[in-house]
Structure 1
Amino acid sequence: MSTAQVNRRSKGEKTRLKILHAAIEIIAEYGIKGTTHRAVAAKANTQLSLTTYYFKDIKELVREAITLSSDIILNSTQDEWHQVFTLLKSFDAVTLRKISVKEAICKELSQIAADHMYRNIINNRTTLAVEQVFFTEMLYSEELKDLAKEHINALLIPFTRFASFFNKVDPEIDGELMLIAITRLQYKYLGTPKDEVNSEELHKLIKRQISWIMGLKRQ
């Protein structure tokens, strides 16, 4: 492939990605039904003909934008989950059952989770809003149900793994309850001005949730 061909492909990929990010913003603001080629083109500050060139069908554009948004959300938690599991695996099973150890772990994990959630609420409101729209509108869209299921399953995997350190019987249930609680907590703050997001309240609520999963009394 020539240099000119590579440059053309690179430019085309950048344009396509720009359109997808614009679509994510439109979905967050107007919902899936309010997402049109014209609205996306205006948000991307590009020609309408380019959006229809790269995505001839609006359903294709919406689907790929939601897929990209899902990837962004999932990738944003990788470092934090790595910290969580590195910490948990540093203890053997016997030590991990000690109350004093679990209390210390709970304190550290609560801080990791609260810091991540605060940053997410402040910096990633658009993708959180898209996720909320996605979960709401998937009930009425056969085209998106498979994407929703994939996204939920991917979100659930690390929560279930975390719960399995403390519940060997049915960690899937604990993991799902924790995911629901934390997701709901993030959505709660979407309409709150950034300077009014209460990081201390976040930390307190998350610590209560983690301590429950770990089998500790109220923390």
Structure 2
Amino acid sequence: MTDTDTTIEYQGRKTQRLKGEQRRVAILEATLRIISREGVKAVKHRAVAKEAGVPLAATTYYFKQLGDLINDAFYLFVENTQANQQQLEQQSFTALESFSYKELDEPENKQKLIDMLVDFLTAHVEGEVSRLSERVIENAFRFEATINPQLQQLVHMLHENNLSHIINFYHVFGSDDPQADATILHSLILHLEYQNIINNEFDQEATRRTLLRCITNSL
């Protein structure tokens, strides 16, 4: 489970039996497939029931309001995709902890750390770009959040959760403005994912060069 479990909760009807939970998840997964093809606006009870292969009454039983269905689909999306983010965080902190503060005073050691971080980030961006349907869903939720106050709160929570780990990294490293450095890096990662998708080809060299400049300037 992710850190967001303490702040984002399922909104739809809770289930007590395994079969009921399996059907509920199937409905949410069908919702995500529809979003990946047609966007959030295409999510309707009848369309989801058809996609999930369940009676219409099942979708309205578990999710009386479409807003609950959309919000819970977002929650499931977060659960399914946060492992990649957590892996990047673990790699970054492990790399940082492999050097003492005294060792990082040496330019060659600092450069080694920077190179390691840039390698991790480049691989992360490439992995995110390769999972195109996830990025489509992610951006669909972000757009919907601009006009959906309830979803806006959930997307904001996820953003703050992800950003907090980067802030913590910069704080441990000794940045004089961890918040600003983390915001710049996080925004750059999202931009590089989007740009590589739009280019329809992952440009590893350009991605790495851009990340190297950002990390070097902030560390």
Which category of TM-score, normalised to the shorter sequence, fits these structures? 0.7 to 0.9
Matched pairs, number: 204
Contact 1:129-1:190 within 8 A present in 2 as well: no
Alpha-carbon separation, structure 1, partners of 2:109 and 2:146: 43
The 5 A counterparts of 1:1-219 are 9-123=17-131, 125-193=132-200, 196-214=201-219
Alpha-carbon separation, structure 2, partners of 1:147 and 1:72: 16
1:5 corresponds to: none
Deviation of 1:205 after TM superposition, in Å, equals 2.5
Alignment-mate amino acid for residue 134 of structure 1: F
Aligned partner of residue 93 in structure 1, secondary structure = coil
Identify if the C-alpha distance between structure 1 residues 45 and 203 changes in structure 2 by more than 3 Å, giving closer, same or farther: farther
Contact 2:95-2:116 within 8 A present in 1 as well: no
Identify if the C-alpha distance between structure 1 residues 25 and 208 changes in structure 2 by more than 3 Å, giving closer, same or farther: farther
- Residue-by-residue CA offset, 1:59-79 (whole Å, 9 max, x unaligned): 100000012212333232212
Identify if the C-alpha distance between structure 1 residues 61 and 169 changes in structure 2 by more than 3 Å, giving closer, same or farther: same
Alpha-carbon separation, structure 2, partners of 1:202 and 1:35: 35
Unaligned runs of 5+ in 2: 1-15
Identify if the C-alpha distance between structure 1 residues 142 and 39 changes in structure 2 by more than 3 Å, giving closer, same or farther: same
Aligned partner of residue 64 in structure 1, secondary structure = helix
Identify if the C-alpha distance between structure 1 residues 114 and 96 changes in structure 2 by more than 3 Å, giving closer, same or farther: same
Alignment-mate amino acid for residue 208 of structure 1: R
Contact 1:113-1:206 within 8 A present in 2 as well: yes
Q: Which moved more, 1:91-100 or 1:178-187?
A: 91-100
Alignment-mate amino acid for residue 92 of structure 1: S
Alpha-carbon separation, structure 2, partners of 1:46 and 1:208: 51
Alpha-carbon separation, structure 2, partners of 1:104 and 1:98: 10
Alpha-carbon separation, structure 2, partners of 1:212 and 1:169: 13
Alpha-carbon separation, structure 1, partners of 2:205 and 2:34: 32
Unaligned runs of 5+ in 1: 1-7, 215-219
Identify if the C-alpha distance between structure 1 residues 22 and 82 changes in structure 2 by more than 3 Å, giving closer, same or farther: same
RMSD: 2.0
* TM score, norm. by length of structure 2: 0.83
Deviation of 1:26 after TM superposition, in Å, equals 1.8
